[in-house]
Amino acid sequence: MDINTTTIFITVALAHFVALLSPGPDFLLVVKSAVRNKKQVAIGVALGIASANAVYIALCLAGVGAILASSITIMTAIKFAGGVFLTYLAVMALKAKKSDYAFLIKSAEAEDTKESTLPKEFLIGFASGILNPKNPLFYLSLFTLILNNEVGIGFKIALGAWMTLIVFLWDSFIIFALSHKHVRGLFNRGAFYIDKTAGVILGAFGLTLIYSAIIKNNK
The answer to whether residue 22 sits within a structural domain is: no
Residue 189 lies in domain: 32-218
The answer to whether residue 21 sits within a structural domain is: no
Query: Is the model's pLDDT at 210 over the cut of 70?
Result: yes
N-to-C CA span, the chain: 48
- 53-88: per-residue pLDDT in tens? 999 888 888 877 667 666 778 778 877 887 887 788
Is residue 110 very low, low, confident or very high in pLDDT (cuts 50, 70, 90)?
Answer: very low
pTM for the full model?
Answer: 0.68
The answer to whether residue 15 sits within a structural domain is: no
Q: Which class for 113: exposed (0-12), middle (13-18), buried (19 or more C-beta within 10 A)?
A: exposed
Which residue would you say has higher pLDDT here, 1 or 76? 76
The answer to whether residue 7 sits within a structural domain is: no
The answer to whether residue 25 sits within a structural domain is: no
Query: Is the model's pLDDT at 41 over the cut of 50?
Result: yes
The answer to whether residue 19 sits within a structural domain is: no
Q: HSE (CB half, 13 Å, CA atoms) of 216?
A: 13
The alpha carbon of 192 is separated from its chain's Cα centroid by a whole number of angstroms, namely: 21
- Taking the C-alpha atoms of residue 212 and residue 204, their distance in angstroms, rounded to an integer, is 12
Contact in structure between 202 and 90 (CB atoms under 8 Å): yes
* SS3 category, 113: coil
Which residue would you say has higher pLDDT here, 171 or 34? 171
User: What is the total count of domains within the chain?
Assistant: 1
Core vs surface per residue 100-110: b (16+ CB within 10 A) or e: ebebbeeeeee
- Taking the C-alpha atoms of residue 43 and residue 37, their distance in angstroms, rounded to an integer, is 9
The answer to whether residue 26 sits within a structural domain is: no
